[in-house]
Amino acid sequence: MDIQFSNDEFLNKFGEQVRSIRLKSGLSYREMAQRCDLDYSYISKIEKGQHNIQLSTVLELAKGLEVHPQELFGFEIIPIS
């Protein structure tokens, strides 16, 4: 499986996935921020693909959403056939 994905696309897809899980959980930015060690405005920028976050932040997002970190990467990746 050869992967064709730019960094920007990857950050955007990751952000969309965080947003979709957050909305499905019925959490606002502020409610999510209270559950983890992240500022609500930072969460909104991550959702817009504006931050190339580190693994420690991935862990915080997973804590805030109460999901396994693996779920944050549950989006389509375009393989090069």
List residues binding a second copy (CB under 8 A): 1-3, 5, 7, 10-11, 14, 52-56, 58-59, 62-63, 66-70, 72-74, 77
* CB nearer a second copy, residue 7 or residue 81: 7
Hey, is 8 helix, strand or coil? helix
Q: Minimal distance in Å, beta carbon 29 to a second copy?
A: 19
* CB nearer a second copy, residue 44 or residue 69: 69
CA 21, CA 61: separation in Å to the nearest integer? 10
CB 16 within 8 A of CB 75: yes
- Provide the token pair at 21: 């899980």
